[in-house]
Amino acid sequence: MTPIPNSNATLRAHIGSCLAEQPVTGLCTTWGDNSGFGAIPSWDVSNVNNFDNAFNIKTTFNGDVSRWDMSNATSLKLIFGQAYVFNQDISRWDVSNVTNFDGAFYATGFNQDVSGWNVTSGTNFNNMFQRSGNFNQDIRKWDVRPGASFTNMFLNTTAMTATYVDGTARFDNGEFRLNGDFFALSSVREQSAEVVTTGAFNFTSDRDGNFSGYFNGRSALEVQLAHDMVLGYFLGVEVGRAKLSGTFAGRQDSYGLNVGGYVLRSFNDVSYIAGFAALGRNKNQLVVSNGTLQVDSDFDSTTLRLGASATGVFRMPRIEIWPELSFSYAKSRVGSQAVAAQAYGLTANNLSLAGGDVEMGQLMFMPQIKWPLGDGRDSAAVANFSLSPRLTCRVTRGVGGGRACGTGAALGYSAASGDGLTLFNATVEFDNVADTKNGSLTFNVEHNF
């Protein structure tokens, strides 16, 4: 068969001609034989880069394109947009070079397993499954790059009511540990909105009777204001409790509530801005005693946080540069800490520790440079290396206040096997700001059976 030329206009014209003969399966034997390209399921599209709108508004198409060689594809924008009945297995497509998935399955009946896709090159996932009412697949294993855009990716994907809970439990030498996190996503019917719920929990107990538990959760409503803008509102809670035993026994409780909002905006899929504001209120209580002395204490705190960031991408033949400029501000007000003490039958309940305000502002510039080390073709591994130098300046007011600037960097390496079953990530980070040095080393290896 004659390969399809590397032209989006030619690709779409040939699809139109073939589907005029057979609009459902694309088995256009007459046109295929006369043109030399064959029927759609057997097309050689290995030379094509741009598949934008290929089957857009082909409302009856549901042909088998599972054998298409997509290794040179770079854009799938609206490839199946409003192809309402399309629902074929394309799990073996090589999309490792695709950067633009915008609206790829917009308003389709698609609900196939694409968890094995290598999407590490992707930068734009906006609207990818929007209004695909049947889609409900687990794609948590996708390795997506920092800075990629996901605006309205699952908007009005009414079947996407996914709930995931990940955690570990361990019992060792009388100590029990349980920790994990959770995630839930659901669409708001008849509205351009979705609800995203996230959180984490951690519980520990030992044979001596000590116990600590912590839970935090946040639910956000994300509303589409325009095709390139999302506004989110969130409400979060935090609850902690610790039971102490030993020389001093007692308990410590903490409760928190926070509210806020954020906005995300993209410009031509190459630059992005974001901003957020949050207000939190916490209450802490402590009661401890050693049998002779008992201390009761409680205090409240209020925290305001503001921030904004801007980033973009400069693409070159072998590298990408993602410069990011971010600003954050936080102010915490700790109320006076009331303390009551009892010992030998005497009580002192007029003690207190003065509170106060602490403020911190931070400005950071971080250009991230990314090098692809493998393209995933012919079942080869896909790998990426990144270098992120950063300059940070901080201003602190309150106890130990001051001004300081410093530098740091992060080195990252990620790799995926050609079959997508084995993933490896490694990150090294270090910072030196205000004579405070921090560093970390993280490894993660994952294999799916």
- 294 phi/psi in degrees, rounded to 5: -120, 135
pTM of the model: 0.63
183 versus 273: the higher-pLDDT residue is: 273
Cβ-based burial of 50 (10 A; exposed 0-12, middle 13-18, buried ≥19): buried
- 237: tokens are 């809670």
Average pLDDT in the chain = 85
Q: Give the pLDDT of residue 140.
A: 76
Q: What percentage of the chain exceeds 70 in pLDDT?
A: 89
Please say if the pLDDT value at position 377 is more than 50. no
144 and 167 inside one domain: no
DSSP 8-state class, residue 318: S
- 1: tokens are 């068969």
145 and 174 inside one domain: no
Cβ-based burial of 140 (10 A; exposed 0-12, middle 13-18, buried ≥19): exposed
370 and 342 inside one domain: no
Q: Give the pLDDT of residue 373.
A: 74
Query: The CATH number of the domain where 418 resides is what?
Result: 3.30.1300
In a domain, 92, yes or no: yes
Please say if the pLDDT value at position 81 is more than 80. yes
In a domain, 105, yes or no: yes
Please say if the pLDDT value at position 378 is more than 70. no
As a whole number of angstroms, the distance between CA 26 and CA 222 comes to 39
182 and 138 inside one domain: no
In a domain, 359, yes or no: no
Residues in CB range of 214: below 8 A, 6 or more apart:
201, 202, 203, 238, 239, 240
- 397: tokens are 């007011």
In a domain, 361, yes or no: no
Tell me which amino acid residue 73 is.
Answer: A
Average the pLDDT over each of 13-22, 155-164, 197-206, 373-382 and give the range with the smallest value: 373-382
371 and 346 inside one domain: no
* Residue recorded with tokens 């609009």: 23
In a domain, 323, yes or no: yes
* Residue recorded with tokens 């389709």: 108
277 and 398 inside one domain: no
Please, what is the Cα angle at 382 between 378 and 386, to 5 degrees?
155
Q: Give the pLDDT of residue 12.
A: 94
Query: The CATH number of the domain where 290 resides is what?
Result: 2.40.170.20
Query: Contact, 274 vs 309, CB < 8 A?
Result: yes
As a whole number of angstroms, the distance between CA 395 and CA 434 comes to 10
Average the pLDDT over each of 100-104, 320-324, 405-409 and give the range with the smallest value: 320-324
299 and 262 inside one domain: yes
125 and 176 inside one domain: no
- 343 phi/psi in degrees, rounded to 5: -160, 130
Q: Which of 128, 152, 176 lies at the terminal end of a domain, its last residue?
A: 152
Q: Give the pLDDT of residue 379.
A: 46
As a whole number of angstroms, the distance between CA 346 and CA 348 comes to 7
As a whole number of angstroms, the distance between CA 104 and CA 88 comes to 14
In a domain, 438, yes or no: yes
As a whole number of angstroms, the distance between CA 103 and CA 126 comes to 6
379 versus 81: the higher-pLDDT residue is: 81
127 and 6 inside one domain: yes
| Number of structural domains in the chain | 3
Structural domain range at position 416: 366-449
Strand partners for 438: 431
In a domain, 360, yes or no: no
Strand partners for 257: 237, 281
Q: Give the pLDDT of residue 354.
A: 67
Q: Which of 354, 374, 398 lies at the terminal end of a domain, its last residue?
A: 354
Residues in CB range of 61: below 8 A, 6 or more apart:
19, 23, 24, 26, 55, 83, 85, 86
Average pLDDT over residues 77-91: 93
Q: Give the pLDDT of residue 448.
A: 61
147 and 166 inside one domain: no
As a whole number of angstroms, the distance between CA 147 and CA 315 comes to 14
Q: What percentage of the chain exceeds 90 in pLDDT?
A: 45
* pLDDT tier, 162 (very low <50, low <70, confident <90, very high otherwise): low
Tens of pLDDT, residues 329-376: 999 988 776 667 677 677 777 666 666 788 999 999 999 888 877 554
74 and 142 inside one domain: yes
176 and 142 inside one domain: no
Q: Which of 303, 333, 354 lies at the terminal end of a domain, its last residue?
A: 354
